[in-house]
């Protein structure tokens, strides 16, 4: 097992960002420092988006997950060191969803299909019956995110909007969506688009009750990517515990930064040529 690091450091456009995920519940602030380690920005609490807009419509019943509860904000990034840790943390949430009559959409690695079904059966879920009732969908991440061999942000936003509560077929109260994100680590060219997409999709989930868990295995992603992924999710699971994410930056702010960063890289590459 790869031990979870106690901090992540990334250098982007000459600015070093240091995140201490194990201290998030204590410090309550995101730390951004300059190359000398001097703090530049302390993020505000993430309970609201700009102009006081609620993250999504009012939710009456919390969802229990990873030692805490999901309330109004339900877009979660979950960092794990192994499959065993991931299933230990998420299976109670998954089982609860089936028992509550929620829709389950699980997106797994291509070689993970049989193992995933066996783990569901081991906690008393009959995947075949659930699929026949339309309550359960099992997909691979490559066919979901990389249809035709490419990642299309707009296409994925439309796909998730169709899975959202009120739009999904079957009349289920809400969807519990768990997505394994290893596909992005297989080809680093997808990382920039993925980070931008993770920020943009907040516009979808803030208006729905669905719980969406994006799982990232720490051994597969570099520090820069981990920090950016943390900054695009209002909730985070790290060390097996769900917390509000003090490093979250609302898409209205984050997307401008990402696009500016991309423009600078393009300009720099053009100058170099």
Question: Mind listing the pLDDT tens digit for each residue in 213-230?
Answer: 999 999 999 998 999 999
pLDDT at 149: 85
Instruction: Please spell the DSSP secondary structure of the chain, one letter per residue.
Output: -PPPPS-EEEEETTEEEEE-GGGHHHH-S-EEE-TTS-EEEEPPPSSS-GGG--SSS--SS-EEETTEEE-S--EEEEEESSHHHHHHHHHHHHHHHHHTT-EEEEEE-GGGHHHHHHHHHHTT--HHHHHHTT-EEEEEHHHHH-GGGS--HHHHHHHHHHHSTTTSTT--S-EEEEEE-THHHH-GGGHHHHHHHHHHTHHHHTTS--EEEEEEEGGGS-HHHHHHHHHT-SEEEETTEEEE-TT---HHHHHHHHHHHHHHHHHHHHHH-
For 80-89, how does the pLDDT look when each residue is reduced to its tens digit (9 = 90+)?
999 999 999 9
The answer on pLDDT for 266 being more than 90 is: no
For 5-40, how does the pLDDT look when each residue is reduced to its tens digit (9 = 90+)?
444 444 444 444 445 444 343 333 333 333 334 333
For 158-204, how does the pLDDT look when each residue is reduced to its tens digit (9 = 90+)?
999 988 876 666 778 899 999 999 999 988 788 989 999 999 999 99
Identify the CATH class of 46-272.
Answer: alpha beta
For 104-140, how does the pLDDT look when each residue is reduced to its tens digit (9 = 90+)?
999 999 999 999 999 999 999 999 999 999 999 999 9
- Global model pTM greater than 0.95: no
pLDDT at 166: 64
């Amino acid at each position: 097992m790869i031990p979870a690091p106690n901090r992540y450091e990334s250098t982007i456009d000459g600015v070093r960002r240091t995140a201490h995920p194990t201290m998030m519940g204590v410090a309550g602030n995101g730390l951004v420092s300059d190359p000398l380690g001097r703090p530049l920005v302390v993020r505000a609490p993430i309970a609201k988006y700009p102009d006081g807009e609620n993250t999504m419509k009012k939710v009456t019943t919390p969802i229990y997950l990873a030692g805490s509860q999901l309330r109004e904000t339900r877009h979660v990034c979950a960092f794990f060191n192994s499959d065993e840790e991931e299933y230990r943390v998420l299976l109670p949430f998954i089982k609860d969803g089936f028992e509550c009559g929620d829709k389950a959409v699980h997106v797994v690695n291509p070689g993970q299909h049989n193992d995933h079904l066996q783990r569901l059966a081991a906690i008393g879920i009959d995947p075949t019956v659930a699929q026949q009732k339309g309550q359960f969908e099992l997909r691979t991440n490559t066919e979901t995110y990389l249809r035709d061999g490419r990642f299309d942000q707009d296409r994925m936003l439309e796909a998730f909007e169709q899975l959202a509560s009120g739009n999904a077929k079957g009349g289920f109260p809400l969807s519990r969506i768990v997505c394994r994100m290893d596909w992005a680590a297989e080809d680093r060219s997808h990382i920039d688009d993925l980070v931008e997409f993770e920020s943009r999709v907040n516009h979808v989930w803030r208006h729905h009750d669905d719980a969406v868990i994006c799982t990232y295995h720490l051994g597969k992603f570099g520090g820069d990517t981990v920090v950016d992924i943390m900054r695009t999710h209002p909730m985070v699971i790290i060390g097996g515990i769900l917390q509000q994410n003090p490093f979250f930056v609302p898409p209205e702010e984050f997307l401008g930064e990402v696009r500016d960063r991309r423009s600078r890289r393009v300009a720099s590459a053009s100058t170099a040529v």
